[in-house]
Structure 1
């Protein structure tokens, strides 16, 4: 077989790999510096990825009406239907043309990318609970490696190895394999690495391996969100070589890369962290990290004053850091409630929520990744979290018996904060406001054991469909109503894809819910058929969303086109359109052996934030809600009851 000439990216990564063939010293160097040495360059498929399609206007209108039908009484639905038809046959066509023209002028990206960035950055809501999710890592299975100093050091080293592989095009591209045994092989990887991007993409597709967008990954590092009035900024500092660390609310910084961008030794990182953890200085009485919990316009104004008050260099050091590390004094144990509260929000004193992500490690070594959402989505953060968890666990660089040189030169810079009386008052006010919000947040969880993915497959139903049905049944049990429900779906199969919404509250789920919760239930066999039909419809919605054929992002883009061109439309003025976007039940799942739990706050005051996992032998759900608006324990009790009833039906022959 004759292969075409290699690309510059392939040459860059192969030049590094050739070091492995020279001598043992270079082999050890490459092995330490890079978490992976992929044959296929990281962004190899990027130019060949298909563009996110703009759905047909007619289909979007049909899908939107189908999602509205179970939520509305007949009279309201008829009004909405008339509005949608008038939109479809009138101004909608004009907005669709504007959107297609806009898309044709921006072929380097997707039609949703700029608009979605703009949506996030214009939001004035505080980041914690409203925007920043958290992924909690499993503990190391070797207890002695869960020591805070040891685990933090290993996770930092693994993070730097991930960063170096990413920058050097040696991080394996993210690929979704339908049949990994056939497609995730060294032989196919070698072939794909030698083919030009378009041919490589076609070849991977032939093997039912689907490369995913990697454009968000560089923003994991050296990136921060800067508060500005009306619209924030995302800033990237590609030359930075340091990380920042928070401990007791105070800030520290030290370099983790050399002049030639090599990772410093593990013991040097460990020595610096030990210095910070041994710093006898008292906790900061006025921790400025809590200011990142404020409404964005207010924070922007205060930050400007902070910079003018002698803190400009400090802020730039934090902003430009490769990433941020929070060393907490609290112990969380294995309690999901305490763990979620600590890693999702804490008291704000030892946090800087504006960074692209913060690696948080509690006193007992429990670790999590809290990330800002504007720059990217869960796919990139999950990949990072999985890789550093596995690397730190399987290839730890420091150990319980690692010895540090006595009197070695520590290279930590303590960052001093200058506050006048007004700024001190701003910090105090922020602490009090944030405490009232966090005290109002409730966290509840349930683990339904003995039944999971395997049981669902035997009953010929989708596990995800069953989880979503259970949410509908549970919510109806406690409220007697059906509400807008959001399930996130990645569109990373497309260039610069972000997410699409799945709307799990369908006419089918409504019918099943009413039947399950009825006093006089239909026969179990009939209910089982209804659940299977519900699952079929849900699977179709997932496939449509993943292929960019949902309706939420399309309507959002059409609405944006109207705003840009000063064109009003009846559909977007309809109160039912706003209700559809008011997600009482906001749901998301990220399944990984590396992840203990994932969590996020409710997206509306009277809503629930539902993070769930589906394992072979159990189902788990973690729910957040505001105590003054909804009852979390009642919902979780209803959810447990719903699981019991649904699986009793599925066991029916």
Structure 2
């Protein structure tokens, strides 16, 4: 870019009279401001570390304890050192170096500090004990028992004041390890409706044999790990479920989040990018300062915040060969990716028409304003240069299989300009794609427009998103936008929290001018984006082409369907005195039975963030009780009263399973960790092998709206996001994501594969809609309630 000369701090010329040194004062000024910004950030990080380290105490609390203790001992004429200095003086000649009054003052301060630390330690441990009680979950919605009220008061009392994002991390309890006996019992109960008597008796025999023989041995090792680590599941889950996967992460792992459904703040692509990028950087600043409020259930019970740590400046790096060898895990991949995270990144990476641009986010020692970022995006959009050989489709390496990408990275990106450019991509705060297509919800063509929009966010052209980045911001030509997120570093609610903040800031607080530009002024001296340089040989281009073929075959096979269900929402469901999530899950079971004529193993994601470093657990939502209700709905002779009774039983069962999953009493993470231990020990378990090979034909997840206060959907129902979704888990199964918005809207995202003759996302969507209506019809609400 023409402005690149401003980055040169000095120039010198050799003349007959000597060396003529020319300093660029503007460049030196920017270097000074950049260094000042860096030191401020380090100081803030250090200060936050101290504040978090002493929470629920505080430096002001230390001052109060010291002053109070010294005043009390002086008034009571008590030795503030409690005789410690007297004993010390018999061994060390302290009086030579400090007066008696000085000794008393220093000793009193030390004793008071010790008292302060003791109080903090007691408060933390009491809080951890309190947070280990989960009886509050048994309260019915809208009511609260006396024991829960007392417990909440105690939690607030020991929680301290003004917590920061990571304040509660050391006070959260560890995830408990369920007993093998309980897990076997719950597992057999979960598969009973999916097996005939012969299959069930066989599985029961395998389970009992495991419980009696191998299970206790594996459990011993797992218990040992739970005592030694913060969470006995999370590190293995991250490694074996995500990082060791050798297939494409595009579609199979990454997921997406959509823009507003009915609001289009601006038609200018650069302006939308300007506001959204600025909002993302504001969020990162708050994250660095730990100023984001920790998520609290009932506004009191803290959730784990550890997943936020790698939101920005993070990339998944493909691995060729794991450093350590594990003979007993030979059948599992010994190749493993790694998550690369840097503490600070001052730039983002922008992709447009096959070119990569490095865009600095700071100037004059401050974060760039929205109009200045828009200015940078306009420069990129106006750039008419052509992609270098191999550059346009380079990101297809991140979309295909991991092994070719790992080998290509090792062979072609280890030195020179390729290494520098790849470092710029992987160490960027996040990745931005200025997409040259137009996507949005079209009222005249709602089905096709939303389906195309979802597929574009999920995979795009397979080479215009860097799927290894923690997340990609995609801004389309008409100003619509969305996110694509990598799954290893965090689960969807974490990305959802970020996205809610961006959507809340963008059109309302940041806003646009009448002609669609970001508010503010263009900067006259802003250095332009830096175009990355690549030298990609033909051999590497061949690998890129192969990866693109794999990725395109996967993307073309995705059958996506998104539909807003607006006949009713959680407002009417609550009038049925049932949980909206349970209602929807049972509707999905009815829809699936109508779609395929049978039940299947069903996955519903539940969080375990009530525990330190908790991620997810599985709710096996296809239960005996749910199947009984579905059979009743399929039987035209069954009475409405009986169906309602069975529905009530099924929803109660589902809510109980969800509570158990949230409180560490799930099935699947325990079985998964037992399986990993068995592989490390080199022993085979027919039971575990069979359990972990069972396919999830129906994989479901609710996208929670976590910051309801940001969106006033009563006054502005148009400011509603369509949520997000993910690809199908099984080749012949469905992936379903849903988001409950306000009182009257539920958005569903359905995915499957065109290659399967058993599935059809649009057909399944019709079954879901009808199942929701049929279940609600049991309650005999009038037509005004059900639109």
TM-score band by shorter chain is 0.7 to 0.9
Partner residue in 2 for 1:32: none
Displacement, 1:125? 1.7
Displacement, 1:441? 1.2
Q: Is the 8 A contact 1:309 1:420 kept in 2?
A: no
Q: Secondary structure at the match of 2:766?
A: helix
Q: Is the 8 A contact 1:250 1:287 kept in 2?
A: no
- The counterpart of 2:645, out of the listed 509, 517, 529, is 529
Q: Is the 8 A contact 1:243 1:256 kept in 2?
A: yes
Q: Is the 8 A contact 1:314 1:416 kept in 2?
A: yes
Q: Secondary structure at the match of 1:522?
A: coil
State the distance in 2 between where 1:226 and 1:40 align: 34
Partner residue in 2 for 1:486: 603
State the distance in 2 between where 1:557 and 1:11 align: 31
State the distance in 1 between where 2:419 and 2:507 align: 38
Q: Which runs of 5+ in 1 are unaligned?
A: 1-5, 16-37, 184-208
Displacement, 1:411? 2.8
- Per-residue CA deviation, residues 377-396 of structure 1 (Å, 9 max, x unaligned), is 11211111111221223321
Partner residue in 1 for 2:576: 459
State the distance in 1 between where 2:405 and 2:217 align: 39
2:493 equivalent to 1:389: no
- Per-residue CA deviation, residues 490-519 of structure 1 (Å, 9 max, x unaligned), is 11111100100001100011111122123x
Partner residue in 2 for 1:254: 359
State the distance in 1 between where 2:261 and 2:530 align: 30
Q: Cα gap change, 1:267/1:644 in structure 2, threshold over 3 Å: closer, same or farther? A: closer
Displacement, 1:303? 2.0
Partner residue in 2 for 1:565: 681
Q: Secondary structure at the match of 1:365?
A: coil
Displacement, 1:110? 0.5
- The counterpart of 1:171, out of the listed 265, 272, 292, is 292
Q: Is the 8 A contact 1:487 1:504 kept in 2?
A: yes
State the distance in 1 between where 2:190 and 2:770 align: 26
Q: Residues 341-380 of structure 1: matches in 2 within 5 Å?
A: 341-380=455-494
State the distance in 1 between where 2:368 and 2:562 align: 41
State the distance in 2 between where 1:601 and 1:96 align: 34
- Per-residue CA deviation, residues 413-434 of structure 1 (Å, 9 max, x unaligned), is 1012222112222222333332
Q: Residues 3-42 of structure 1: matches in 2 within 5 Å?
A: 8-9=50-51, 39-42=162-165
2:402 equivalent to 1:276: no
Q: Is the 8 A contact 1:67 1:506 kept in 2?
A: yes
Q: Secondary structure at the match of 2:536?
A: coil
Q: Is the 8 A contact 2:608 2:663 kept in 1?
A: yes
Partner residue in 2 for 1:319: 426
Q: Cα gap change, 1:474/1:8 in structure 2, threshold over 3 Å: closer, same or farther? A: same
2:312 equivalent to 1:225: no
State the distance in 2 between where 1:300 and 1:521 align: 60
Q: Is the 8 A contact 2:261 2:721 kept in 1?
A: no
State the distance in 1 between where 2:318 and 2:540 align: 17
Displacement, 1:633? 2.5
- The counterpart of 2:739, out of the listed 570, 588, 613, is 613
State the distance in 1 between where 2:262 and 2:362 align: 26
Q: Cα gap change, 1:462/1:139 in structure 2, threshold over 3 Å: closer, same or farther? A: closer
State the distance in 2 between where 1:406 and 1:561 align: 59
Flag the structure with more relative contact order, 1 or 2, with Cα contacts below 8 A and sequence separation at least 6: 1
Q: Cα gap change, 1:304/1:397 in structure 2, threshold over 3 Å: closer, same or farther? A: farther
Displacement, 1:568? 2.4
- The counterpart of 1:602, out of the listed 706, 728, 731, is 728
Q: Secondary structure at the match of 1:596?
A: coil
Moved more, 338-347 or 429-438: 429-438
Which one has the largest radius of gyration?
A: 2
Normalising to structure 1: TM-score of the pair? 0.85
Displacement, 1:440? 1.7
State the distance in 2 between where 1:628 and 1:7 align: 52
Q: Cα gap change, 1:448/1:144 in structure 2, threshold over 3 Å: closer, same or farther? A: closer
State the distance in 2 between where 1:85 and 1:416 align: 62
State the distance in 2 between where 1:306 and 1:368 align: 32
Q: Residues 505-544 of structure 1: matches in 2 within 5 Å?
A: 505-518=622-635, 520-544=636-660
2:702 equivalent to 1:589: yes
Displacement, 1:148? 1.6
Displacement, 1:547? 0.9
Displacement, 1:163? 0.9
- The RMSD of aligned alpha carbons is 2.5
Moved more, 555-564 or 414-423: 414-423
Q: Which runs of 5+ in 2 are unaligned?
A: 1-47, 60-160, 321-334, 442-448, 706-710, 712-719, 783-787
Displacement, 1:231? 0.5
- Per-residue CA deviation, residues 102-135 of structure 1 (Å, 9 max, x unaligned), is 12122xx211111111121001120111000111
State the aligned residue count. Answer: 589
State the distance in 2 between where 1:163 and 1:351 align: 21
State the distance in 2 between where 1:550 and 1:560 align: 17
- The counterpart of 1:64, out of the listed 182, 187, 198, is 187
Partner residue in 2 for 1:299: 405
Q: Is the 8 A contact 2:314 2:426 kept in 1?
A: yes
Q: Secondary structure at the match of 1:395?
A: helix
Q: Is the 8 A contact 1:446 1:620 kept in 2?
A: yes
Q: Is the 8 A contact 1:500 1:552 kept in 2?
A: yes
